[in-house]
Amino acid sequence: MIETKKTQLEGQIIQVLNANQVCSFATIDGNKPKVRYMALFHDGLEIYLTTSKKTDKVEELQDNPHVHILVGYDGKSTPNILQIQATAKISSDNALREKLWKDDMKEWFEGPHDPNYVVMDISPSYIEYSSKGSEPQIWTK
């Protein structure tokens, strides 16, 4: 019974991830949070964000891999919101970089094999799913 509910919740979470192309991404800079908007990619519950390895966020993740992601709020009322606690690691895996590459990234990178183009591979450990009109549901790894 509990496993069925977890599977249902995972499906609802994936629907929210599918419906959103942008998220708020928080790292820790020293001992203070730092938040920015990022393009959102995912494969099931595994989340990916792309960036340049020369950014502050890459340095911040080397010091502290714990991150927080907010999905589902775009400035107007939305029925479903995710609060995600996770750990992130930097990946320069070529297959993953090619999979996530979009032509509009040419503004910042020469292509999917640009050495500065990296992927933040984010593994959630806790997800709070809030749906308008109901109590929040909690997913844990």
pLDDT in tens, 3-37: 668 889 999 999 999 999 999 999 999 999 999 99
d(CA 60, CA 9) in angstroms, rounded, equals 31
Is 43 in a helix, a strand, or coil?
A: strand
- What is the pLDDT at residue 2? 64
| H-state helical runs in the chain | 2-19, 56-63, 94-100
DSSP assigned state of 106: G
Mean pLDDT computed over every residue of the chain = 92
Q: What is the pTM of this model?
A: 0.90
Q: Considering only CA atoms, which of 55, 56, 70 is closest in space to residue 122?
A: 70
Q: 67-84, pLDDT tens digit by residue?
A: 999 999 766 667 899 999
Provide mean pLDDT across the span 107-134.
94
State the residue for tokens 């995972």: 10
pLDDT over 70 percentage in the chain: 94
